[in-house]
Amino acid sequence: MKMFLKPSLTCCIFLLFITSIVFSQSARITTYSYAVVISNAAYTDAGWKSVADTLMTIHAKGSNRVKLLKWSTSVSGIKNDLIEFAPDYIGYIAKPAAECNSAFIREVKTLTCALDNDPFADAVWGVITGFAAADAMRAVTSSLRAKTRVSGDELASPWMPEHFMFKQNQPDVEVRFADGTSCTSKTLTGPDRVVPICTWLNSGIKIDVTGYPGINGTVDVLITGGHGNINTWQAHYPDAGTEGFLMSNNGQLYGDPYSGNNINVNKTTPTVYYAINNCLIGNPDNINNMTYAWFHTGYAVNMFGYLESTSCSEVFYRGVLRFSKDLTPGEAHFLGFNNIIHDLQNKNYFLANESGLIFNRDESAIYGDPKADVYVVDDPLNDAKKEVKDTLRHIATPQAVPDTFEFVSTVTGSQFTAGEWYVRPLRPASFLPVKIDAATINIEKNEGHFYSIAEEFVIFDAWMPKDVVGTYVPQGKVKKLRWTAQTKPLITPINSNLHEYQKTKQCVLSAQCRQGKIVVKITGLVQPNTLMCLYNTAGRELARHSVLGADENTTIDMTNGISICLGSGIYYVVMKSGRSMLKTPVTYLPR
């Protein structure tokens, strides 16, 4: 990776394959490399070995690369192996407490930032653990499309269609419904919020308000703020008041109400838990700690928390806001984490000083598969409410010529202030659609302020409070960051022995350029489940088509449905069916 800093006064893996010239701030990543990391000791345990093997199977699909890496005395011992493999994602599997502890979290974080010579994290990572191996297995094999969140921190809440937000020291709650309407109430939770929260986790959330559509479903995301400890979350803040606690012991999550019996939490649906504004809840040093109870009876699939006590977490660790229909919790955390490093490098101390940023960098933890099948449901209302739209444009060219990238940020709202609560959590940041060679980056235009460009992501301070004219930033105003860079060669069927396909003798493949299109003709018998893929000479997959019901003379337009800007040069058409492959080059000339 490489970082570039450039103030305006002087003037985003990952997605290894691209299918469109224009995509949103963070288009979903579908092709990637994944390293499964586990200790030799854990791999001899049948339960944890099964977690590792299952994770390998889950991510070994399509053109993905996966690799199992085992360590003996220290996880840092596999550093060279990670550098050689260059994964986009790393799943660090660790047995509870003995392996998964604060020292281990800090070590894997340091390791993940040390795979090249810049300060950023070099892969999306997560620690996969649980009270028992079965908890980790359930987490990595579960899927979630989050629709409903319950939150105690209104500033650290990713958008979801249904939202129940309570204030830490007041009975007031705010409810937003799927149709976009909302209301406030003082009576929906009762005097002790621990009771309804435990009930909702166990049995689902049901909110009926006259004149509104209501909420009736599962709690998909829980976000807590206020006081916390290694095995305790305090519902009321700053004092306990007349409310109880959410607690853990021996893998059991339970509510301890102000009055009445304890309420065991045994959730049956997947959950993402963010202890975003709590001390110590992410600390894994003891088997009785909250982390393990959340994965055991809370059915967590991903979790974020702090290892130590903090007084500044809510101020600037807002990576959770990037959890979306396109970004997993692990990917959102990756961008949030690198935003902190971006601020440290640029001395952007909007909401905290240097020591606070360093604390957030060093003392936070993200748990679960970093590439879990966990997203927010697609909600058109979300896009409609955004004050700023960010778009990354990519123009692909043959291998010998640098590609062009342009990050465009447009103010679409009429009351955008570019204030301190926007700059860090929502500033333009995106994964790149390809990995680039940082040494070849050439900045052509910067209409904003600071920026960081790495091998697989971009962060762009397009907007600052100084951009305000009068009260707001003018609606329709646009800022652009444009650069060129060489893409990195990829390991694919074009240039690797990792895919040892046998040449099929059952058909003949030919391709030619016709009027700006790449047209492929297949002569002979086509096997079921056949894929037709288009690659450039760098090994980047540009298009993919399923061949269904093909006869003995089938013609396919490889450019159909693809809006990528192809440059002149040599490309490869690859037909794949199981372990069989046919490959043919084609010279492309645009119209």
Which of these ranges, 139-143, 211-215, 249-253, 370-374, has the smallest mean pLDDT? 211-215
Residue with the bigger pLDDT between 498 and 215: it is 215
What count of other Cβ atoms lies within 10 Å of the Cβ of residue 141? Answer: 16
Q: What is the mean pLDDT of residues 443-458?
A: 94
User: pLDDT digit string (tens) for 191-208?
Assistant: 888 999 999 999 999 988
Q: Which two tokens stand for residue 332?
A: 């959102």
- Alpha carbons 438 and 186: distance in angstroms, whole number: 54
Contacts 24+ apart (CB under 8 A), 400-405: 400/569, 401/567, 402/440, 402/442, 402/484, 402/485, 402/486, 403/434, 403/436, 403/484, 403/485, 403/486, 403/487, 404/482, 404/483, 404/484, 405/432, 405/436, 405/458, 405/482, 405/483, 405/484, 405/485
Alpha-carbon distances of 116 from 83, 120, 246, 373, rounded to whole Å:
8, 9, 41, 28
Band (pLDDT 50/70/90 cuts) for residue 495 is very low
Band (pLDDT 50/70/90 cuts) for residue 30 is confident
Q: Which two tokens stand for residue 98?
A: 């003995």
pLDDT at 346: 87
Residue with the bigger pLDDT between 590 and 351: it is 590
Q: What is the mean pLDDT of residues 156-173?
A: 74
Q: What is the mean pLDDT of residues 159-170?
A: 77
Residue with the bigger pLDDT between 310 and 373: it is 373
Place of tokens 């040069």: 569
Q: Which of 365, 221, 370 minimizes the C-alpha distance to 292?
A: 365
User: pLDDT digit string (tens) for 165-185?
Assistant: 877 666 678 888 888 888 888
pLDDT at 286: 97
CB 400 within 8 A of CB 33: no
User: pLDDT digit string (tens) for 502-519?
Assistant: 344 456 778 888 877 888
User: Cβ-count burial of 420 within 10 angstroms (0-12 exposed, 13-18 middle, 19+ buried)?
Assistant: middle
- Alpha carbons 500 and 155: distance in angstroms, whole number: 51
- Torsion angle of alpha carbons 379, 384, 389, 391, nearest 10°? 50
- Alpha carbons 168 and 437: distance in angstroms, whole number: 47
CB 539 within 8 A of CB 494: yes
pLDDT at 498: 30
User: pLDDT digit string (tens) for 291-338?
Assistant: 999 999 999 999 999 998 876 654 445 566 788 888 999 999 999 899
Q: Which of 325, 283, 327, 330 minimizes the C-alpha distance to 302?
A: 330
- Alpha carbons 191 and 184: distance in angstroms, whole number: 16
What is the CA angle 73-78-79, rounded to 5? Answer: 125
List the strands of the sheet with 569-577, edge to edge: 502-503, 580-588, 569-577, 530-536, 541-547
Q: What percent helix, strand, coil does the chain show, rounded to 5?
A: 20, 35, 45
pLDDT at 18: 32
Alpha-carbon distances of 221 from 179, 269, 296, rounded to whole Å:
19, 11, 16
- Alpha carbons 257 and 262: distance in angstroms, whole number: 6
User: pLDDT digit string (tens) for 213-256?
Assistant: 989 999 999 998 878 899 999 887 788 888 899 999 999 999 99
Q: Name every residue whose Cβ is closer than 8 Å to that of residue 7 and which is 6 or more positions away in sequence.
A: 449, 450
Give the mean pLDDT of the chain: 83
Q: Which two tokens stand for residue 21?
A: 């010239």
pTM listed for this prediction = 0.81
User: pLDDT digit string (tens) for 111-132?
Assistant: 999 998 889 999 999 999 999 9
Residue with the bigger pLDDT between 79 and 189: it is 79
CB 158 within 8 A of CB 376: yes
